[in-house]
Amino acid sequence: MSQHASRLGGLRGRSHVPFGVPSHQRLRRVPRRPRRIAMLSVHTSPLHQPGTGDAGGMNVYIVELAKRLAAIDIEVEIFTRATTGALPPSVELAPGVLVRHVDAGPYEGLAKEDLPAQLCAFTHGVMQAWAGHRPGYYDLVHSHYWLSGHVGWLAAQRWGVPLVHAMHTMAKVKNAALAEGDTPEPAARVIGEQQIVRAADRLIANTGEEADELVRHYDAARELVAVVHPGVNLDRFRPADGRAAARARLGLPTDALIPLFAGRIQPLKAPDILLHAVAHLLEEEPSLRERIVVPVVGGPSGSGLAKPEGLHKLAARLGICDVVRFRPPCAQDELADWYRAASVLVMPSYSESFGLVAIEAQACGTPVVAASVGGLPVAVRDGISGTLIDGHDPADYARALRPFAADPGRAERMGEAAARHAESFGWDTSAAATAEVYTAAMRERRRLRSAHG
């Protein structure tokens, strides 16, 4: 049997309504698009501060997508694990968007790697919330990351609704591009992702390359993979009153060269490469020390938690402590000011499913120097809104930064092109495309039900 035939056979197997779904729910008319969806984010809450722990681009993605879906009359209930007893059972994030906190395991001290053992408890909490509603309350399940995918798989089967899943990152892809000293993703995650790919009615990929990776590494059926680019909040991330004003607000020198790193501090994101590149620049041009500031905005995450002071110690060994400024994660409005203040954002990541930070910076009028990995070639227009670099040699990044030091006007010129480029990545467009994926999944589920009586 061909892979295509096998995959459709799996879909047909799921087309029957699972045990326990009332007969009147089976007969109800499936709307053109969902009225209400259950969105699952087990390991990280949309209420958490991005830039530290496990909170990052996925948090921003979920918050912005949910808000825009609600704006087009698709209600969203986001289920996430409670991390403190002080949290109320539910919080209204925005009109039409509810965050539900599910008790699953101890509130504190659980690493992401410990969470698979809590998935049964989390699933129980989701089912309890569903049991309090009338049949057919949720039209669809949208899960984010593989942990949520397993809960979504069971919930969708129990409720007789489609499962739409977004990987965000994939174990096989990350393991193929590990930073030195980074920890490989476990085999349990690889197996889990393979199971979710087989179970999902639709898979959402951030880019065409991610779609290809799903097909190549996980044998996904290509016709079930939809490419939807993430967006950016263009009301928040915009040039506003310019670079000089942002620098004044942040206490930065007006005429400095400011290469910025913003994000979680872990080997995968490679902030160490920026520090090594800066050391290269200062070795070649010692006078630059008087007019360079290197902000590192973010907190330890992932395998970076094992050595939270590692980057500080590296700056000391390289002799650049005087120019590096470490800052904790900050609110989105302040982050926008860091982007505006920077001469250039530097993203030397080993793997990025999309690179939301790159789009945010460009929307603020700041060019990007980034590794040519994952979704970054989509997020950055090489030679126009920024520079893409093959590999992770600090000397290459120093070479890309040197023109910004020699020509202060370069940041302004490329920044204007960057802002124009980012305008095509609005969240409204992303939400509309996501709603189309939901509609297609529901239509296919209805067609298969009709075909099988």
Give whole-number Cα distances, 10 to 18, 153, 448, in Å: 14, 13, 12
| Look-up of token digits 């109800």 | 28
243 is in an annotated binding site: no
Is 212 assigned to a binding site? no
Q: Is 347 a known ligand-binding residue?
A: no
Residue 97: half-sphere exposure toward Cβ, Cα within 13 Å: 17
Does the annotation flag 307 for ligand binding? no
360 is in an annotated binding site: yes
Measured CA distances, 422 to 238, 336, 373, 383, 416 (Å): 9, 14, 19, 15, 10
Residue 339 labelled as part of a binding site: yes
According to the annotation, is 189 in a ligand binding site? yes
Does the annotation flag 182 for ligand binding? no
Long-range contacts (CB closer than 8 Å, 24 or more residues apart) made by 132-138: 135/21, 135/22, 135/24, 135/25, 136/25, 136/28, 137/36, 138/36, 138/37, 138/38, 138/77
Q: 366 among the known binding-site residues? A: yes
| CB-based contact 271:297 (threshold 8 Å) | no
Helix, coil or strand: residue 285:
coil
Residue 112, marked binder: yes
429 is in an annotated binding site: no
54 known member of a binding site:
yes
- 324-327: strand order across its sheet: 324-327, 294-297, 259-262, 344-347, 368-371, 386-389
Say whether 43 counts as a known binding-site residue: yes
9 known member of a binding site: no
Was 66 annotated as part of a binding site? no
56 is in an annotated binding site: yes
238 annotated as belonging to a binding site for a ligand: no
* Residue tagged 């520079």 (tokens): 387
Whether 397 has a binding-site annotation, put simply, is no
322 is in an annotated binding site: no
Residue type for position 98: L
Query: How many whole angstroms separate alpha carbon 338 and alpha carbon 100?
Result: 32
Known binding residues are: 43, 49-50, 54-59, 112, 145, 169, 189, 264, 269, 339-340, 342, 352, 360, 366
Q: Give binding residues for 1D-myo-inositol 3-phosphate as ranges.
A: 43, 54-59, 112, 145, 169, 189
Binding site, annotated residues for UDP-N-acetyl-alpha-D-glucosamine = 49-50, 57, 264, 269, 352, 360
